[in-house]
Structure 1
Amino acid sequence: MAKYLISFPSAAMAVPDGEMEAVGRDAHAVIEQAKAAGVYVFAGGIDENVPPVLVSADRMVTEGGYPWARPLDGGLTVLDLPSREEAVAWAARLAKACLCAQELRVFGFDPQS
């Protein structure tokens, strides 16, 4: 089993007027299916009203994220799945529910975690 990150940036969600409630309902239904299947780890969205901060090793806090990186926003789901094929299938379900393509990444296994 591997943990897969399924995500999308906020700009990818071009939901037609009046359909956001249905998109939310459909996305939550997929999450409930993942929970029922026993593959759910975590899901949520980045709170874009709270700006990021950089924290250094000496605990210095600097407002803003890395200036050279694109902003991290949108939604994400982490699932524990037996194969990439299963991950693609779940990503397709979320893409259909959210009305936008999903990025799929696998977490590297850390035996000490």
Structure 2
Amino acid sequence: MARYLISFNDGAMDHIPDADWTEVSRASHAVVREAAEAGVWVFGAGLQRQQASIVGTDGVVTDGPYPETKAVIGGFSIVEVASREEALKWAARIAAGCRCAQEVRELMPDAETDAMLRQAGRR
């Protein structure tokens, strides 16, 4: 099984009228419940609209994002599925619920982290 990051850019939901937010929330949470019931949901969240803090390798904190950044993530979901095609199907369901396009990227596998999570009883 592979994990996929399904995300959308900050501002991607700005087109939604205030009156529709209750329905968007209901539809989005319904997809999350379905993914959880299907056993593919790992985690997800919307991000507060704010300027990021960048912590360098030397521990120095600066305001971000970097000027060359064209877009920042506005929200994300992580699913664990058998194939990219399945991840794309979940992304389509999330896109419909959120009313905005979703980007899908496979996360790199990390056996060491998986082993630590299993040992801690979290996988």
TM-score, with structure 2 as normaliser: 0.83
Q: Which runs of 5+ in 2 are unaligned?
A: 114-123
Distance 1:63 1:72 in 2: 14
d(CA) in 2 for partners of 1:96 and 1:57? Answer: 39
- Aligned-pair CA distance for 1:65: 2.1
Q: CA deviation at 1:71?
A: 4.0
Q: What is aligned with 1:91?
A: 91
SS at match of 1:18: helix
Q: Equivalent residue for 1:40? A: 41
May I ask how many residue pairs the two structures share in their alignment?
112
Query: 8 Å contact 1:4–1:105 — kept in the other structure?
Result: yes
Q: Which residue of 2 aligns with 1:28?
A: 29
Q: For residues 6-47 of structure 1, what are the alpha-carbon distances to aligned partners after superposition, in whole Å with 9 as ceiling and x for unaligned?
A: 111132222134111100110001001111111111110111
Consecutive unaligned residues in structure 1, runs of 5 or more: none
Cα RMSD after superposing both structures: 1.4
Residue type of the alignment partner of 1:29:
A
Structure 1 segments (4+ residues) deviating >4 Å: none
Task: State the partner residue of 1:3.
Answer: 3
**Alpha carbons 1:2, 1:109 under 8 Å: kept:** yes
Contact 2:7 2:73 in 1 (8 A): no
Between the aligned partners of 2:23 and 2:55, the Cα distance in structure 1 is 38
Larger helix share, 1 or 2: 2
Equivalence for 1:80: 80
Moved more, 19-28 or 62-71: 62-71
